[in-house]
Amino acid sequence: MRFNYHTHTARCGHATGTDEEYVQCAIKAGYQILGFSDHAPYRNYSNRRCFMEWDQLDEYIGSIESLKEKYKDQIEIHVGLETEYYSYCHEEKVELKNKVEYLMLGQHFSDPMNTAIDYFKFNSEEEILLYGTSICEGLDTGLFDCLCHPDVIMSRQPEFTKACESIAHMIGKKCAEINIPVEMNVRGIQKGKRRPIEGRHCYYPSREFWEILAQYPIRVICGIDAHAPEDLLDLESVEDAYRELEGLDLSYITEPII
């Protein structure tokens, strides 16, 4: 069965295409299940380049629900959200959880009001450790149904440091403990996995990171992280992502999680 639960929409400010175009491309690519999980809004903070506005939330849900009905004979559609976790907005996350079918934890910033600390950039050892502890804190809430791109912190790290090793163990242990699906994210491949930094190739999925995750009995799901409808047609990148982790003792999920 082919499915993807990690699909964005133009509402987040850095994706393109209409909601229906994503559905049509998913059908063309042979997906049986498509889950939308656009970047969730924050009630008291706006950033049109990173996530949708709070007043777009109901329209987003309504749009996906409408497509679910329209295409019910061709594909199964679900509506969710991808969001960070910060303890001070816990109740807000509970409210979001009650509005959609699922929540995905994707930690992109140390704080949504300070996007200068961006985990897609080079990060200090302290920032890397903060990334790992924030993920584990979010997972402990029980609000999330999947952990997105756990190794996104490796996007621009020239070396696999002690801090990287430490959080890989931390995340692997926590995900095994609570039995939450961990995403092998394809977007790093699609964005250009052979981007050289100081003589090394840095990208995700990170083989070094996943070698540690594979030491734990985790369940792994493939996520396209589609930011354009045609991303769903790029099955070659999916195959490349699997090849990156070939030979590791990973338990891939083959049945729906929602």
Closest CA to 54 of 45, 39, 43, 62: 43
What's the confidence (pLDDT) of residue 193? 55
Structure tokens at 114: 């300070």
Mean of per-residue pLDDT scores for the chain = 93
What's the confidence (pLDDT) of residue 202? 53
What ranges in the chain are assigned the alpha helix state H? 19-28, 57-70, 90-99, 125-139, 162-178, 187-190, 207-213, 235-244
Residue with the two structure tokens 């792994």: 220
Q: Provide the residue ranges of all domains of the chain, joining segments of one domain with +.
A: 3-252
Helix (H, G, I), strand (E, B) or coil at 102: strand
pLDDT in tens, 120-174: 788 899 999 999 999 999 999 999 999 999 999 998 888 899 999 999 999 999 9
What's the confidence (pLDDT) of residue 199? 46
Report the Cα 4 to chain-centroid distance in Å: 11
* Helix (H), strand (E) counts: the chain: 8, 10
pLDDT in tens, 174-204: 999 999 999 999 998 887 654 444 444 457 8
Record: fold of 3-252: TIM Barrel (3.20.20)
